[in-house]
């Protein structure tokens, strides 16, 4: 090999390596960096809390930015600015969650920064009372807002304190997911199951609980009022009919209505009617005689 | 010598005494009849969850019940004519009670349609018509007052049953509640027991006379066909359409019924759309019902006075106009205070119309033709009643604004009222002319056969004239 050619090869080889190293350092310089607000815990002072993201360094052309909450894009937050803000007005429990500001670029993948807004759980929905018949299934639920998602526990108020639910009969099923929990009780027992139940939501910030009352109705419960009403009705009808039968002979004697013939005369006519045999009317006649004497 | 067949008033109606007990019975009967379809809606939510059907399927129960109640009118009237009010009301009460009790064991929606809707509706129709008919038999001079008191049963029972049903629902579930409600509806049997039959002198029924006459010339098929036609006529008497006053009344009341129920159905929804909270919106309906309770007997009292009674049809048309104007002014109302005022006036108007609606029919038809007339009227009123609220709902869906609903209902009722007013001027004028003709005719008759003039009060004279205009007085009444 000619000594000059070897030198050229080494030169170009080292230039290639140097170039590659340079490119790497340049590209690492070009990775975008974002400065974002601190993570926070609600409640905050003041009426408003601002989440901020600044895109401090980038290489490629920046397209736009938007915000997401808990993985879903918040509408109407897209803007072409490098500094982007999202205002939380009077932040409450349902404003808590994981917020992310996302910057999109023309030629390179998007960059994002995460801001966590934490709060203690607040129970927003639960059934205050549940009434079911025995043998049916009951459903008690609790809904909450807050971040991080709480751990749920169900307890029953027994003999003055709240205890863990005794599932020796295998009739209790708890299903919890994020901010929602359900307590299913199948084959309700009228002796064991009625009472106060409470759902407890606990996360690293704090905990809350709410009570629900479960009542179990027996199948025979409506029977007694029904029998009472039937007895009252029969008594009333008997009183009215007896009063009328006792008053009738007095009416005729008083001569209150002198124009009226006695019902016996009418019956004679009725019988004459029946004796003139018209096929279809015979049955009607008999029925009408029966009902007229009611 | 038997009295002339066209002479209806051989007896003087009691107008008091036991009649007031009959009014109590009618009050209970009518109360259950009108209130039950409405208060059943309290159970619908739980039934829907239990049976797993859609809301419109459940709401159909009420509609079927109302439809059966109105459609059963002619049958009910025919049965009352035949057997008298008492057994029919007791049968109706029994049907209602049985229907609710069997419905409490239901497992499918079709079963509920049949039990509550069909059987319950039939029971209620028997109750309703029989109660109205017996009032027309027991009262003449004080009839408007008796009608007002009896019709007041509807708002009273509505106000009592609504919270009571809620209490039953919480404590016993819907099945237990239907069971107990069935027991309560058996009180209609008690009401029936109160409806002592009016003792009538029994003339040899012209039925028998007609039969002996018919027997001779006809035979076989023609005899059966004549009897079939006659039986069909017992149910639906189309000859009533020849009566001018009846047709006028019918048109007016159809227009009223078409527009009457939609505002009630949509009132709380309208209030909510104006920004009123849910409990206050529901409260509006209770206010309306409460006012209604007192207005009905009050209207009966006013209608009974010497000033109003002779021209009671004008009072009826005034009530319709009042009601219509109330609805037309409603869209102008924006605040809750004025909505309360509207509810009060609505209650007044509604109560006035319903206190008079059957009294006017009795006034026009007389106690002889009233049973047939009321049967025909109720079955015809079935259609506007079922069409009104859905048509109004359609307007709301299309225009997304409740004001068109109120404008439509108000204008329909107002037109009905004005129509009644104008046509009644004409009708009263023709009636006066006819009466003068009869007076002249009877004067001629009196000159030929001198007889002592009967001292009749005006309502009695009117009854006689009304009956004289009715040539088909062949039924024996009880």
Contact between chains at A226 and B82 (C-beta distance less than 8 A): no
Closest C-alpha to B339, from B324, B350, B325, B329: B329
Chain-chain contact of A240 with B193 (C-beta, under 8 angstroms): yes
* For residue A120, pLDDT beyond 80: yes
Residue B123 predicted with pLDDT over 90: yes
Q: Taking CB atoms and an 8 Å cutoff, what residues of chain B touch A265?
A: 202
Q: In angstroms, what separates the C-alpha of B170 from chain A's closest C-alpha?
A: 7
Using the beta-carbon criterion (under 8 Å), do B11 and A133 form an inter-chain contact?
no
pLDDT for position A283? 52
What pLDDT is attached to residue B298?
95
Report the pLDDT value the prediction gives residue A264, as an integer from 0 to 100: 45
Instruction: DSSP for B8-35, please give it.
Output: --SS----STHHHHHHHHHHHHHHHHHH
Looking at mean pLDDT, say which of A13-22, A48-57, B236-245, B250-259 comes out highest: B250-259
Nearest to A194 by CA among A132, A249, A112: A132
C-alpha pair distances (Å), B56 with each of A145, B53, B399: 34, 8, 21
Do A156 and A192 meet the contact criterion of CB atoms below 8 Å apart? no
Asked if the model's pLDDT at residue B477 lies above 60, the reply is no
* Residue B337 CB partners (closer than 8 Å, separation 6+): none
Residue A262 pLDDT exceeds 50: no
Residue B245: pLDDT over 80: yes
Residues in B touching A222 (Cβ below 8 Å):
172, 175-177, 179-180
B130: pLDDT confidence band, cut at 50, 70 and 90?
Answer: very high
Rounded to whole angstroms, the Cα distance separating A20 from B227 reads 115
Q: Do B202 and A261 touch (CB under 8 A)?
A: yes
Partners of A49 in beta bridges: A88
- B86 contacts on A by Cβ (under 8 Å): 294
Report d(CA B185, CA B179) in Å as an integer.
10
d(CA B408, CA B438): 44
**What does the pLDDT read at residue B473?**
44
Residue B21's closest chain A neighbor by CA? A240
Partners of A57 in the β-ladder: A33
Q: Residue written as tokens 């009295």?
A: B3
Which pLDDT score, from 0 to 100, does residue A5 have? 78
Highest mean pLDDT among A244-253, B13-22, B28-37: B28-37
> CA-to-CA distance for B298 and B321, rounded, in angstroms?
18
Mean pLDDT, residues B5-16: 60
B82/A229 Cβ within 8 A: no
Cβ neighbours of B204 in A, within 8 Å: 269
Contact A97, A143 (CB under 8 A): no
Confidence band, pLDDT 50/70/90 cuts, at residue A270: very low
Question: Exposed (0-12), middle (13-18) or buried (19+): which is A233, by Cβ within 10 Å?
Answer: buried
Position A280 scores a pLDDT of 42
User: Any CB–CB contact under 8 A between A286 and chain B?
Assistant: no
How far, in Å, CA of B433 to CA of B428, rounded?
9
8 Å CB contact of B478 and A284: no
A50 Cβ under 8 Å from any chain B Cβ:
no
Q: What is the pLDDT of residue A287?
A: 58
Could you give the CA distance from residue A281 to residue B470 in angstroms, rounded to a whole number? 26
Say how many CA atoms lie within 13 Å of B368 toward its Cβ. 25
* pLDDT (average), residues A118-141: 86
Q: Give B-chain residues touching A236 at CB under 8 angstroms.
A: 190, 193
pLDDT at B250 over 80: yes
ipTM of this predicted complex? 0.78
Using a CB–CB cutoff of 8 Å, tell me whether A294 touches chain B: yes
Pairwise pLDDT comparison (A65 vs B253), residue with the higher score: B253
Q: With 80 as the cut, is the pLDDT of residue B404 above it? A: yes
Residue whose entry in the numeric block shows the structure tokens 């409405």: B38
Closest Cα in chain A, distance from residue B201 (Å): 5
Q: What is the pLDDT of residue B341?
A: 92
Contact with chain B for residue A266, Cβ under 8 A = yes
- Number of A to B CB contacts under 8 A, please give it: 87
Tokens 């006013």 map to which residue? B302
* Whether the predicted pLDDT of B180 surpasses 90: yes
Query: In which band, very low, low, confident or very high, does the pLDDT at B209 lie, cut at 50, 70 and 90?
Result: very low
- Flag if B202 and A237 touch (Cβ within 8 Å): no
> Which percentage of chain B shows pLDDT scores above 90?
47
Q: What is the least distance, in Å, from the CA of A281 to any CA of chain B?
A: 11
pLDDT value at residue B295 = 95
Q: Judge whether residue B131 has pLDDT over 90.
A: yes
Pairing of strands A207-217, A129-133: parallel
Q: DSSP per residue over chain A, as a string?
A: --HHHHHHHHHHHHHHHHHHHHHHHHHHHHS-EEEEPPPEESS-SSSEEEEEEEEEE-SSPEEEEEEEETTEEPTT--B--SEEEEEEES--GGG-EEEEEEEEESSS--EEEEEEEEEEEEEEEE-SEEEEETTS-EEEEEEEEEESPPEEEEEEEETTEEEE---TTS-EEEEEETTEEEEEE-S--TTTS-EEEEEEEE-SS-EEEEEEEEEEE-TTTTHHHHHHHHHHHHHHHHHHHHHHHHHHHHHHHHTS-TTPPPHHHHHHHHHHHHHS--HHHHHHHHHHHHHHT-
Q: Among the listed ranges A26-35, A160-169, B241-250, B269-278, which one has the minimum average pLDDT value? A: A26-35
- Cα–Cα distance measured from residue B23 to residue B16, given in angstroms and rounded to the nearest whole number: 10
Residue pair A214/A130 in contact by the 8 Å Cβ criterion: yes
CA-based radius of gyration for chain B: 23
Rounded Cα distance, B106 and B99, in Å:
11
Residues of B engaging A, defined by a Cβ cutoff of 8 Å: 10-11, 82-84, 86-87, 90, 170-173, 175-177, 179-180, 182-184, 186-187, 189-190, 193-194, 196-197, 199-202, 204-205, 207-208, 211-212, 227, 478
A14-18, A58-62, A285-289: segment of lowest average pLDDT: A285-289
Does an H or E element contain B256, and which? helix B244-273
- Of the two residues B177 and B14, the one the predictor is more confident about is B177
Q: Does A290 touch chain B (CB under 8 A)?
A: no
Contact B33, B128 (CB under 8 A): yes
**How do A40-41 and A111-126 pair as beta strands?**
parallel
Say if CB B116 and CB B96 are below 8 A apart: no
Among the partner residues B173, B176, B194, nearest to A240 by beta-carbon distance = B194
Inspect the interface and report whether the beta carbons of B83 and A288 lie closer than 8 Å.
yes
Question: Is A294 close to B87, i.e. CB distance below 8 A?
Answer: yes
Q: Which residues of B touch A241 (CB under 8 A)?
A: 193
- Residue A261 binned pLDDT confidence (cut-offs 50, 70, 90): very low
Higher pLDDT, B72 or A267: B72
The better pLDDT of the pair B115, A55 is held by B115
Task: Write the pLDDT tens digit of every residue in B252-274.
Answer: 999 999 999 888 888 878 888 88
Kindly give the interhelix angle for B336-399 and B55-71, rounded to the nearest 10 degrees.
100
- The Cα–Cα gap between B203 and B212 comes to 16
pLDDT for A221: 85
**pTM score:** 0.74
pLDDT value of position B210? 47
Res B7 pLDDT > 50 = no
Share of chain A above pLDDT 90, in %: 6
- CA of B169: which chain A residue's CA is closest? A131
The total number of residues written for chain A in this structure: 294
Q: Which residues of A touch B2 (CB under 8 A)?
A: none
Task: Kindly determine whether residue B204 and residue A269, on different chains, have CB atoms separated by under 8 Å.
Answer: yes
Q: Which two tokens stand for residue B195?
A: 């409806």
Q: Which residue of B has its CA nearest to A269?
A: B204
Q: Residue B155 and residue B297: Cα distance in Å, rounded?
A: 11
The answer, yes or no, to whether residue B320 has pLDDT greater than 70, is yes
What pLDDT, on the 0 to 100 scale, is given for residue B234?
A: 60
- CB pair distance less than 8 Å for A222 and B179: yes
pLDDT the model gives residue B314: 93
Q: What percent of chain B has pLDDT over 70?
A: 84
Distance between A280 CA and the closest CA of chain B, angstroms? 10
Region A101-123 average pLDDT:
85
Closest CA in chain B for residue A136: B50
Q: Choose from B175, B176, B454 for mutation: most chain A CBs within 10 A.
A: B176
Contact B172 A263 (CB under 8 A): no
pLDDT averaged over chain B? Answer: 84
Q: Does A249 touch chain B (CB under 8 A)?
A: no
Q: Which two tokens stand for residue B153?
A: 């049963």
Nearest by CB to residue A261, choosing from B189, B201, B478, is B201
Would the pLDDT of A47 be above 70? yes
pLDDT given for residue B232 in this prediction: 61
Q: Is the pLDDT of residue B48 over 90?
A: no
Per-residue pLDDT band for B155 (boundaries 50, 70, 90) equals very high
What pLDDT does residue A66 have? 86
Rounded CA-CA distance B97/B111 in Å is 16
Q: Is A240 on the interface with B (CB under 8 A)?
A: yes
Chain B interface, mutation test: which of A267, A286, A291, A293, most B Cβ atoms within 10 Å? A291
- Show the 3-state SS of B376-390: HHHHHHHHHHHHHHH
Q: Which of B84, B172, B208 sits opposite A217 (nearest CB)?
A: B172
CA quadruple A269, B132, B420, B262: dihedral sign: negative
Residue B21 Cα, gap to closest chain A Cα (Å): 11
pLDDT tens, A218-250? 888 889 999 999 999 999 999 998 998 888 766
Mean pLDDT taken over chain A = 78
Question: CB neighbours (10 Å) of residue B313?
Answer: 23
The mean per-residue pLDDT over the stretch A112-130 comes to 86
CA Rg, chain A, in Å? 43
User: Is pLDDT of B120 > 90?
Assistant: yes
Name the phi and psi angles at B195, rounded to 5.
-85, 75
Under the banding of pLDDT at 50, 70 and 90, the label for residue B6 is very low
Choose the weakest-confidence range: A153-162, A245-254, B163-172, B447-456: B447-456
Q: What is the pLDDT of residue A274?
A: 43
Q: Residues B323-327: what's their mean pLDDT? A: 94
Percentage with pLDDT > 70 across chain A: 78
Chain length of chain B: 478
The answer to whether the Cβ–Cβ distance between B200 and A260 falls below 8 Å is yes
Partner-chain contact B186 A284, CB within 8 Å? no
Q: Which residue has the higher pLDDT, A257 or B240?
A: B240
Mean pLDDT on B394-401:
85
């Amino acid at each position: 090999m000619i000594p000059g050619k070897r030198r050229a090869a080494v030169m170009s080889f080292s230039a290639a390596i140097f170039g590659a190293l340079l490119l790497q350092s340049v590209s690492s310089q070009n990775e975008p960096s974002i400065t974002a607000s601190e993570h926070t815990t609600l409640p905050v002072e003041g009426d408003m809390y601002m989440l901020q993201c600044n895109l401090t360094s980038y290489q490629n052309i920046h397209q736009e930015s938007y915000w997401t909450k808990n993985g879903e894009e918040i509408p109407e937050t897209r803007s072409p600015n490098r500094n982007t803000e999202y205002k939380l007005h009077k932040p409450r429990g349902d404003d808590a969650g994981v917020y992310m500001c996302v910057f999109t670029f023309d030629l390179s993948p998007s960059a994002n920064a995460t801001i966590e807004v934490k709060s203690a759980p607040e129970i927003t929905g639960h059934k205050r009372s549940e009434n079911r018949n025995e043998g049916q299934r009951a459903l008690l639920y609790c809904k909450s807002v807050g971040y991080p998602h709480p751990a749920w526990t169900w307890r029953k108020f027994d003999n003055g304190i709240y205890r863990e639910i005794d599932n020796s009969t295998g009739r209790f099923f708890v299903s919890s997911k994020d901010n929602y929990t359900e307590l299913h009780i199948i084959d309700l027992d009228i002796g064991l199951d009625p009472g106060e139940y409470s759902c407890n939501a606990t996360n690293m910030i704090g905990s809350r609980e709410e009570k629900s009352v479960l009542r179990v109705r027996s199948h025979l419960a409506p029977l007694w009022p029904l029998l009472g009403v039937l007895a009252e009705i029969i008594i009333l009808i008997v009183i009215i009919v007896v009063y009328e039968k006792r008053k009738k002979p007095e009416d005729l004697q008083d001569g209150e209505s002198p124009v009226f013939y006695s019902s016996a005369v009418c019956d004679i006519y009725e019988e004459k009617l029946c004796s003139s045999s018209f096929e279809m009317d015979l049955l009607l006649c008999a029925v009408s005689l029966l009902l007229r004497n009611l | 010598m038997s009295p002339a067949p066209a002479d209806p008033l051989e007896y003087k109606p009691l107008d008091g005494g036991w009649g007031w007990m009959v009014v109590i019975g009618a009050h209970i009967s009518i109360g259950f009849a009108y209130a039950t379809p409405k208060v059943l809606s309290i159970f619908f939510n739980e039934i829907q969850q239990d049976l797993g059907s859609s809301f419109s399927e459940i709401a159909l129960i009420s509609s079927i019940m109302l439809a059966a109640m109105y459609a059963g009118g002619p049958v009910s009237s025919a049965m009352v004519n035949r057997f008298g009010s008492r057994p029919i009301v007791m049968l109706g009460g029994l049907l209602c009670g049985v229907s609710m009790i069997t419905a409490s064991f239901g497992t499918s929606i079709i079963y509920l349609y049949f039990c509550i809707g069909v059987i319950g509706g039939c029971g209620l129709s028997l109750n309703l018509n029989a109660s109205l008919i017996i009032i027309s038999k027991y009262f003449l001079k004080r009839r408007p007052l008796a009608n007002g008191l009896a019709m007041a049963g509807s708002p009273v029972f509505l106000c009592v049953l609504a919270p009571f049903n809620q209490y039953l629902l919480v404590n016993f579930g819907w099945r237990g509640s239907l069971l107990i409600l069935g027991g309560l509806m058996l009180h209609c049997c008690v009401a029936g027991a109160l409806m002592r039959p009016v003792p009538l002198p029994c003339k040899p029924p012209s039925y028998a006379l007609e039969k002996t006459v018919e027997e001779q010339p006809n035979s076989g098929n023609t005899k059966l066909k004549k009897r079939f036609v006659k039986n069909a006529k017992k149910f639906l008497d189309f000859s009533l359409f020849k009566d001018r006053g009846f047709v006028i009344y019918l048109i007016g009341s159809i227009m009223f019924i078409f527009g009457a129920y939609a505002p009630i159905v949509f009132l709380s929804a309208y209030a909510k759309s104006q920004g009123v909270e849910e409990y206050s919106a529901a409260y509006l309906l209770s206010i309306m019902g409460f006012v209604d309770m007192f207005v009905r007997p009050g209207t009966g009292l006013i209608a009974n006075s010497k000033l109003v009674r002779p021209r009671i049809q004008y009072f009826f048309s005034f009530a319709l106009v009042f009601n219509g104007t109330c609805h037309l002014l409603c869209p102008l109302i924006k605040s809750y205070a004025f909505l309360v005022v509207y509810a009060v006036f609505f209650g007044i108007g509604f109560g006035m119309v319903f206190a008079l609606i059957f009294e006017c029919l009795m006034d026009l038809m007389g106690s002889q033709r009233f049973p047939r007339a009321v049967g025909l009227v109720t079955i015809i009123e079935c259609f506007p009643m079922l069409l009104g609220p859905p048509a109004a709902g359609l307007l709301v869906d299309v225009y997304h604004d409740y004001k068109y609903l109120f404008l439509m209902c108000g204008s329909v009722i107002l037109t009905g009222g004005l129509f009644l007013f104008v046509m009644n001027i004409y009708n009263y004028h023709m009636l006066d002319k006819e009466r003068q003709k009869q007076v002249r005719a009877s004067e001629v008759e009196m000159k030929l056969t001198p007889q002592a003039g009967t001292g009749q009060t005006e309502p009695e004279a009117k009854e006689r004239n009304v009956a004289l205009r009715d040539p088909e007085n062949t039924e024996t009444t009880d």
